[in-house]
Amino acid sequence: MDPYKYRPSSAYNSPFFTNNSGTPVYDDNSSLTVGSRGPVLLEDYHLIEKLAHFERERIPERVVHARGASAKGFFEVTHDISHLTCADFLRAPGVQTPLIARFSTVIHERGSPETIRDPRGFAVKFYTREGNFDFVGNNFPVFFIRDAMKFADVIHAFKPNPKSHIQENWRILDFCSHHPESLHAFTFFFDDEGVPTDYRHINGSSVNTYTLINKAGKGHYVKFHWKPTCGVKFLLEEEAIKVGGTNHSHATQDLYDSIAAGNYPEWKLYIQTIDPDHEDRFDFDPLDSTKTWPEDIVPLQPVGRLVLNRNIDNFFAENEMLAFSPGTVVPGISYSDDKMLQGRVFAYGDTQRHRLGPNYLLLPVNAPKCAHHNNHYDGFMNFMHRDEEVDYFPSRYDPVRHAEKYPILPTVCSGRRERCLSEKGSDFKQPGERYRSWAPDRQERYVSRWVNALSDPRVTHEIRSIWISWWTQADRSLGQRLASRLNVRPSI
């Protein structure tokens, strides 16, 4: 199965210029005028078409993950996990699946520097025999919030001030001071990992909890983790300033140049699994996206490897119009009741319908490479050629049938309809453990970044005190160091 042939081809290129309708253009240098200097005529259709198309070249950029780079490659299964999932592309060691991956920053605009302190997106579209599977994650294994109700708010807080269009620490710290669950993500954001060296040297994580389902219908909660074979590397402040000041697209260029030179980036895929019947054995909620699953309790299991060995052919077609959604899964992989994931399943597909139109999944880079059939007709920019007479189901005039049933979880849901917080476990334990795992010089850099952020003149004494109190609960020495440098008395 070659996914690259399923795209509009340049094979029909003419040796001479034409307009979009294919009409020959004998002069693409001069407008049609009255005399050599006279006014331009409105009837110059080629000029009007050329300008009109140019003015519409840009499409709405992504609200998040606008700045990114893509590459193609394959995924190869190296370890048998068929006892955990009936997903066809994971059926046995040696099975290869073509894919396209996209890496990105999260908060800033399409042309922003790639040295900004920011999470990095890590997304992979697998073109499987049973349809596409979109892995949509980040390099951080946790997020700042645990409920999708606050997703727009946390992004707004991290985005530039709507009045000045300047990203400001006081806005970030103000919002997150209402959410102690954000502490864990800050141990990545203000850590050295907050500014990766490039895209080849980052981890990837699903962040959210999914569910694997085997042939017998048994489900296991799962988190996915990508580990780069070349290791994780990051830029410290002075290095980031130097690199970003030299080339604001350094990570995109590094990815492209490495593949062009035959130095193919590779990641190993690991999973962690928890039997839902055993989730009460842990002191954390497995469905909480602000918590990690400790590897000494829930060990990593190897699955396969991802290799990027081909650059994209066109940045717009295969990066800007490339669209991912956590809702795009295949048999054997499903969702969980993770509140963040539940919101993302809707939001990601919906933002693509806004950006690219209702038929965005017909675009070659997004379309499945297996046979597919449904009755999703018409709509803006529907370019699929169809000659069927039946556009409903079922019909005695159309032989199409339901697919063979595959296992789904027989979940029973019960409970009161209510809006409530999920607060199992401590929001302070894992951040403190992570801080204590660092070498002293790394701890010092982390403290310095927090002192800098909390020294923002618009951060109030109340907000500063909240953060020092929280960090004291996570690690007493960390709280004391912050309090000492900021002249604030720690209180719990």
Query: Catalytic site residues?
Result: 65, 138
Element (H, E) at 355: helix 339-356
Could you list the beta-strand ranges (E) of 164-230: 204-205, 210-213, 219-228
Residue 112: how many CB atoms within 10 A of its CB? Answer: 15
Query: Which residue carries 């109340």 as its tokens?
Result: 462
Report phi then psi at 378, rounded to 5. 60, -150
Query: How do strand 266-274 and strand 301-311 relate by DSSP bridges?
Result: antiparallel
The tokens for 247 are 């080339």
Query: Which residue is listed with tokens 């909620």?
Result: 285
Tokens (6 digits) for 86: 């009936």
Query: Where would I find the H helices in 36-80?
Result: 45-54
Rounded distance, CA 466 to CA 428, Å? 13
CA atoms within 13 A on the CB side of 181: 20
Per-residue DSSP letters for 92-103?
STT-EEEEEEEE
First to last CA, the chain: 60
Instruction: Give one DSSP letter per residue of 299-319, joined into a string.
Output: --EEEEEEEEEEE-S-HIIII
- Euclidean distance between CA atoms 471 and 469, whole angstroms: 6
CA angle, residues 352, 176, 233, in degrees to nearest 5: 70
Which amino acid is it at 293? W
Instruction: Quote the CA–CA distance of 244 and 237 in Å, as a whole number.
Output: 10
d(CA 185, CA 485): 23
**Pairing between strand 120-128 and 301-311?**
unpaired
